Amino acid sequence: MSSIERIGVGPRMSEAVAYGNLVFLSGEVAEDTTQDAAGQTRQILASIDETLKKAGTDKTKILKANIWLADIKDFAAMNSVWDAWVPQGHTPARATVEAKLAAPQYLVEIMVVAAR
Amino acid sequence: MSSIERIGVGPRMSEAVAYGNLVFLSGEVAEDTTQDAAGQTRQILASIDETLKKAGTDKTKILKANIWLADIKDFAAMNSVWDAWVPQGHTPARATVEAKLAAPQYLVEIMVVAAR
Amino acid sequence: MSSIERIGVGPRMSEAVAYGNLVFLSGEVAEDTTQDAAGQTRQILASIDETLKKAGTDKTKILKANIWLADIKDFAAMNSVWDAWVPQGHTPARATVEAKLAAPQYLVEIMVVAAR
């Protein structure tokens, strides 16, 4: 049995939880919520890069991504940033749906599972 | 460490990503969106069968399913098709919620994780 | 290859599915839906404790949690119960979004993946 390694452990959730060769990240939202959906997506993906690095992996090893948009009309804006970021030949399984997020200023939330 | 095998690799996402004995499928939607929720569910489950086959597994090995309905009123219609398809004695963990999907003509989206 | 162990197998879904050292639980909702969001969260977390026990594990080994609220305004109410329940130092990756659930009386649904 593998041990569980928790990264960025908070009182409510951890930034990421690694178990064996799998890494589960929390849903990430933008810090600067004055930005639009494209800008928020850019921040989130940069933050995911950092979290994956802390867990000893990177975006070429993402297995699955769940994306929530506060307004599905931002699908194209989010994708324009995603498509430039996701490494070609290493694209994950993905699903994107609309959902109201924890606070109205959040336009995008992304949760990934990666290998390491 | 296992290697990552990507199936149906597109520029934005892959149809499925296998890692060791786990297979993560993308959220699947119907091709013929003139059909109602039951018809769309039927198409999606047939497509999931095909994707699982490409990954070397089948519906008796699904571990988890996430289902999104554009209108939760289609819960019974979706279930009528699901219940006939899911192999008895091998039912997965499952959660179903309402969410607007990528385009208004999509009534159902299903994302599964399977063993192989 | 590990074998799949299904717990609480129903005709539509299983309460939990264990595969190797991973356990996937179904989305859980409250039994007594006359209670408010805090009360429903309390019931759900007690039920998750029971299900994890049946699978040979416990809440210190939860890797990931997905939480859906019928009304995101219940975020604080749900969190007040969650924060008292989640074991400090062992918090999972988590994402919480709003979604209409299978029936209008359900205010909260929680789906977890754990190690064992």
Question: Once rounded to an integer, what is the mean pLDDT over residues B95-100?
Answer: 98
Structure tokens at C49: 């404790």
- Chain A neighbors of C91, CB-CB under 8 A: 6, 9-14
For position C15, which CATH number holds? 3.30.1330.40
Structure tokens at B76: 């019974």
Nearest CA in chain C to B116: C1
Q: Distance between CA atoms of B24 and A111, rounded to whole angstroms?
A: 14
- Contacting chains of C (3 CB pairs or more, <8 Å) are A, B
DSSP 3-state of B86: coil
pLDDT per position as a tens digit, B47-90 = 999 999 999 999 999 999 999 999 999 999 999 999 999 999 99
Quote the domain boundaries for residue B31.
4-115
Question: Once rounded to an integer, what is the mean pLDDT over residues C23-51?
Answer: 98
Structure tokens at B15: 């149809």
Candidates A1, A2, A26; nearest CB to C95: A26
Which residues in chain A come in under a pLDDT of 70?
Answer: 1
pLDDT per position as a tens digit, B6-28 = 999 999 999 999 999 999 999 99
DSSP 3-state of C73: helix
Contact assignment for B111 to A88 by CB distance below 8 Å: no
- Contacting chains of A (3 CB pairs or more, <8 Å) are B, C
Residue C1 has pLDDT above 80, yes or no: no
Burial readout B74-99 (b: 16 or more C-beta within 10 A, e: otherwise): bbebbbebbeeebeeebbbbbbbbbb
Contact assignment for B86 to C12 by CB distance below 8 Å: yes
- Chain B neighbors of C27, CB-CB under 8 A: 94-97
Under 8 Å CB-to-CB from A29, ≥6 apart: which residues?
A40, A44, A101, A102, A106, A108, A109
- How many angstroms away from the CA of A37 is the closest CA of chain C? 17
Would strands C108-115 and C93-98 be described as parallel, antiparallel, or unpaired?
unpaired
Candidates B63, B99, B115; nearest CB to C99: B99
Q: Are C58 and C50 in contact (CB under 8 A)?
A: no
Q: Distance between CA atoms of C51 and A63, rounded to whole angstroms?
A: 27
Helices (H), chain A: 37-54, 75-85
Give the E-state strand segments of chain A in sequence order.
4-9, 14-19, 22-25, 62-69, 93-98, 108-115
Q: Distance between CA atoms of A59 and A114, rounded to whole angstroms?
A: 8
Does an H or E element contain B67, and which? strand B62-69
Q: Are B15 and B51 in contact (CB under 8 A)?
A: yes
**Domain tally for chain A?**
1
The interface predicted TM-score of the complex, written ipTM, equals 0.97
